[in-house]
Amino acid sequence: MSTIKVMVNGLPGNVTQMIASHIARDEALTLLPYSLTGPEIDIDRIAIEDTVIELIRPDRRDASIMTIKDSYDSFISVDFTHPSAVNRNARFYCTHSLPFVMGTTGGDRQELHETVTKAPISAVIAPNMARQIVGLQAMLAYGAENFPGLFQGYTLTVHESHQQGKADTSGTAKAMVGYFNAMGVDFSNDQIQKERDPAIQKQQWGIPEAYLDGHGWHTYTLTSPDGTAMFELKHNINGRKIYVEGTLKAVNYLHRKVQDGSQGRIYSMVDVLKTD
């Protein structure tokens, strides 16, 4: 039985290590022994299960990818790197005809989409790979489309907390704000309150110490103009397992699309959900 070949980029990041480990243990998937990494990474290799992964820095990747393609032919790339690398990485994948799953947030999203739609490959791009959260977003998207102005005049507060190493504001929080905007709430992304201090996360938020280095807690609170009505929505995720599961679903989905000849298409996690 043929397997889906996957190159996980962004090692030795925590999320990518988990994704790579799951792929290495999955009989239907093959983990490539290479990973694109950042210029600041000072190690050359990392062991994932029984596979030793060679880490390829930016100054070597154009030459290295040709050798990798010759050895493995077609494969899916998984990208969880740094927000500053989003557009550069997307251009690299498209230039070298590498279909990819991208869970990295940040970057110029309009440029990102234009890059893919003009390319001979397709991609799954989502700021959140957790299928259950994506499903929740889809429900709010339905509300935004069908009940515009539902929360007209209401005040919104958004609090999000992630591990200290997350550089940008939560892409999920930004997406949720967009839905509330469509339902009549006056709120901008720069009003999102983000927390990255582990001491505050533990003492004031009550986030378990074991998950301070890997969590995503969000609270959205809507209050009526006179203060007599309040609605609150939360999704608190400890660890990264939920994102790994969603990413592997996206890999399988994109593989099927590639087999069908898809080009220049961007798929979302909602597309992936619809095939579960």
| Token pair in block for residue 14 | 């925590």
* Three-state DSSP class for residue 262: coil
Name the active-site residue from 5, 96, 118, 166. 166
Q: What's the rounded Cα separation, in Å, for the pair 116 and 266? A: 7
Buried b / exposed e across 100-131, counting CB within 10 Å, b at 16+? Answer: bbbbbbbbeeeebeebbeebebbbbbbbbbbb
Residue 274 annotated in active site: no
* Three-state DSSP class for residue 139: helix
Name the active-site residue from 22, 82, 162, 249. 162
Q: Report helix angle 241-259 to 14-25, nearest 10.
A: 60
Residue 162 annotated in active site: yes
- The amino acid that residue 84 corresponds to is S
- Residues classed as catalytic: 162, 166
